[in-house]
Structure 1
């Protein structure tokens, strides 16, 4: 009985994949796995299968262009949103029992770029960047006000 080259587990002669670690055992299985991974990567990155439905506009109303299609300004916005959102959530989590932490957590979540994707379907279109920043600002101001006003 042959063994898997990755984990040395025993593998059946006709097995296409290792039952222990999932490594492909034949050349066909390896090619099939590579194609599957490519398709999944394209779906996750938003770069494939849409038939050109991403508008690529720089006004924030685009339909999620792939990372390669983003301008430097849009990439900076996305990176800044992640830093600001996760930073706010982390700071708020340090004060969780306090009342001001909950608006800060909501604000941090609201500014994260994936929220645009999540809200696009029920709302009919993605939120503009300015709207996301406004929602963040409202929640952050409420959280800061509660921090100042409550003992």
Structure 2
């Protein structure tokens, strides 16, 4: 058995990749991995413009990862301000709702606070096929907060 030059773990003599770190062990495997990485990079750069063409993403999506969403560095100042405002409103509403938990109106407030948080938008993208627009999220927030406030006032 030979050892991996990258992580020094024991591997089979015929192994093309290390089972521990994934490093290619042959020249052919290294070329294959390089081609794969280049194809993935082209696919990502080719798809990155799809978010701004009205295909459901509309404005930039509120997430910081590589699956169709823009990172924080790529957001405009206005979009960063919107995201920060959503965090403030969401967490503030959640805190207020948690202080009112025994009352029935706290639950719509809690849901409203959760709905406005930017990560929820990313989480809805999987089941729905595309993230909800931020206007929809803000509308849900307003409706849930109004229902919660009404329940707190009248019950």
What is the alpha-carbon distance in structure 2 between the residues aligned to residue 84 and residue 92 of structure 1? 12
String of CA shifts for 1:60-88, please: whole Å, max 9, x gaps.
36442001110011000000000000000
Instruction: Name the TM-score, length of structure 2 as normaliser.
Output: 0.61
String of CA shifts for 1:93-131, please: whole Å, max 9, x gaps.
000010010000000000000001100010010010100
Unaligned runs of 5+ in 1: 1-15, 17-31, 33-48
- Alignment-derived partner of residue 123 in structure 2: 118
Q: How does 1:1-151 map to 2 (within 5 A)?
A: 51-52=44-45, 53-55=47-49, 57=52, 59-60=58-59, 62=61, 63-150=68-155
Kept in 2: contact 1:61–1:126 (CA 8 A): no
**Structure having the larger proportion of residues in helix:** 2
Structure 1 outlier segments of 4+, above 4 Å: none
Kept in 1: contact 2:108–2:148 (CA 8 A): yes
Instruction: Name the TM-score, length of structure 1 as normaliser.
Output: 0.63
Question: How many residues get paired?
Answer: 105
- Pairwise CA RMSD: 2.3
String of CA shifts for 1:33-84, please: whole Å, max 9, x gaps.
xxxxxxxxxxxxxxxx771334463943644200111001100000000000
